Chains A and B, each alone.
Chain A
């Protein structure tokens, strides 16, 4: 297990380094002058000189990359073009909002999707199973931005029962919770379908295993067999999926963040791209990549711990 862990960590470090290089290269190889892109067409010579010095643009590309990589390794991802605020500070200001949104979105999706998958699996081909199937495919197929817009139109504008925009009043948990409902609904709806399908498939597989049939033959209650034995095993692949999905939502919640005007990491990246504030874009994407890789690493280690065959596969 230790060798597997070390190999897996080493691989993660390589991936982060590759991401660092790609992010750096992207900005340099964009068509057009990087200073014009960042500062706009009518920047003054003084502003151009300051930016050039700050970004080491007078140095060779190799030197620029080495400086950027060294600073990144030391936790310095630079500063925003105009405000000169630390990129790390900006990212970690936005991150909690996205973490909360991702947790709430996946949370309600798990509460609904997992039982739905279970019910469908224990009564395969029943009416409930068919209805669950339709709901699952339907929720997977509807893009989250569409759910965002429609939920906002219905619940905030037509009915006026939920707030539309922002993250709520600072220091008012009730207001913040109310502001979380619609974005979390929009972000999580697709996951209801995913989870239901995943749990159903796993449960059907597990329910045909010998040890389940043996448990049933011993006369154990049906509920006990399903929830204590079958679901416990069937849920494992779902746990991995949830881990990866949570990482993906860190940047994937961007539509909900934009439409609901919520602060968050996706919206930060979007706004900075629009504002051509590329040091922040670079830094934010790098941090998200690192977090995503870390979550994937943890998920892989958990699976490897539970399933020895995986350890041999790397």
Chain B
């Protein structure tokens, strides 16, 4: 085996040459766009790309770049969030409460020789979803009728106004190739059997997802010849990567938004995609210490949510007044209660309660523990002693579940955060009567709430729906079991020579990224 011998002189000469190359810029510079290649960040690795069994997040971002769908999110003329047909469909029309007609544009070809995108693919994909882990999104769908090679009708079994928004425009609305799926056994994990989009996808586990041009693509040309999505799971590392110029777009944390303030790095811009998360402090209405509504109302008045948002979230999250998130039909702009420690003390006195000791449980997450400590101080100011108990995710998610035993009886106060799709129906469903002991840990029920829930599902008039969901949140608040806290936003930082497109639920639509 030949050996390489270097003298000290040679090593020194090499080092000097390398140093000189760096000094005059021969060493490649980093972080700059090369040959119209765009670098973005994915915040998790791919697990399952199959829409029926996916986890979400980066998997939806990948699907949207390479797979067809009937509709996509759009901002309506009045500024509200709605939907419109994608490039694959010439029309998608809700004919009546139970029928959605669609017509595909011809000429979109599946890769790997699986032919053209047809209405039969839509039928296969959506009816298949009814048997998968995401079947809940298709519960309201009866079937898909194919009326021609490119035309069909989605038939609902019950009027369900949110269907286009929460199902067709979201990840579960991805259309698959029937032929490709049948050829590969009807299910897949990390490799699409066939794609039909401007890009082809390559995956290097733990490293990157690369989107390369699809030579068979006949739709509008994408803005970038290649997109490389670097998998950077740690938020801080992603922020440093952005500052180093190695990615052009990344989601950032609330703490970083606060740090940047009004002065983000040069050449960058910040965009809030949406705030489809709602956090509140719940109270168990059946716990002996909290069964008196005056005690619960006293707690509502005792907590200074504005200070909590400043203290725990550096003022970067929006104060919530209910569970329906900003930008959605039914979003509330005020609560019926307000921060009033004197009134809180008076209510406690009226209820004959003194020296009350309560447990406040929260997920073991930095911001939420901080929020709990602020609540603890607020409650202390009105004479309630609260113990903050951080809980790991396993036991936390079982605290109020009757299926997990009797521990729900000891549950008193807790901080909870749910995420939702861009329709108010989804966030209200967890508080129905049949959810008591499942996800309704506050353990109340109300006939009017139940009736309004059903009405909201079938109502298509936006104004009426708005009224319905306002009233439902008012009913929740009147139980005294909720202190609304905040809506955490999905915030992105990006190079200001880019125009980005981000879903309200926080996924990047990289197919629609453009040079500004």
Query: Which A positions have Cβ atoms within 8 angstroms of B?
Result: 30-34, 36-37, 40-41, 43-44, 46-47, 80-85, 90, 93-94, 149, 152-153, 156-157, 160-167, 170, 175, 178, 258-261, 263-264, 267-268, 270-271, 274-276
Contact = CB atoms under 8 A, between A and B. Distances in A.
B55 interface: yes
Contacts of B205: 85, 90, 93-94, 263
B240 A82 contact: no
Nearest to A263: B206
A267 B48 CA distance: 20
B246 A163 contact: yes
Interface string B98-138: 00000000000000000000000000000000001101100
Contacts of A31: 392, 394-395
Question: Which secondary structure dominates where chain B touches chain A?
Answer: loop
Contact of B230 (A166, A264, A270): A166
A43 B132 CA distance: 12
Contacts of A271: 44-45, 206, 233
Interface string B194-223: 000000000011111000000000000000
A34 to B, nearest CB: 8
Given A83-B48, A84-B189, A166-B208, A274 B246 contact: no
A164 B241 contact: yes
A44 B133 CA distance: 6
Interface stretch (B26-34, B163-171, B456-464): B26-34
A94 B47 contact: no
Interface of B: 22, 27-31, 44-48, 53, 55, 132-133, 135-136, 189-190, 204-208, 230-234, 236-238, 240-241, 243-247, 392-398, 404
Contact of A160 (B207, B208, B244, B396): B244
Contacts of B398: 32-33, 36
B240 A44 contact: no
Nearest 7 pairs of A and B residues by beta carbon: A32-B394, A263-B206, A41-B397, A82-B47, A164-B244, A37-B394, A165-B241
A258 B232 CA distance: 8
Of B29, B53, B230, most A-chain CB atoms within 10 Å: B53
B232 A261 contact: yes
B119 to A, nearest CB: 28
A74 B382 CA distance: 63
Contacts, number: 131
Given A36-B394, A271-B45, A275-B44, A164 B135 contact: no
Contacts of A93: 205-206
Contacts of B238: 261
B237 A261 contact: yes
A259 B238 CA distance: 9
A47 B48 CA distance: 13
A203 to B, nearest CB: 23
Contacts of B46: 83
Nearest to A152: B240
B253 to A, nearest CB: 15
A175 B30 CA distance: 10
A185 to B, nearest CB: 16
Contact of A33 (B31, B44, B48, B404): B404
Nearest to A268: B206
A160 B230 contact: no
B232 A165 contact: yes
Given A162-B30, A164-B241, A165-B246, 15 more contacts: A32-B395, A33-B404, A44-B133, A80-B47, A84-B189, A85-B205, A94-B205, A94-B206, A164-B240, A259-B236, A261-B231, A261-B233, A267-B233, A271-B45, A274-B233
Contacts of A263: 205-207
A82 B397 contact: no
B233 to A, nearest CB: 5
14 contacts: A47-B53, A47-B133, A81-B47, A85-B189, A162-B30, A164-B246, A165-B232, A166-B207, A170-B207, A259-B234, A259-B240, A261-B238, A263-B205, A274-B233
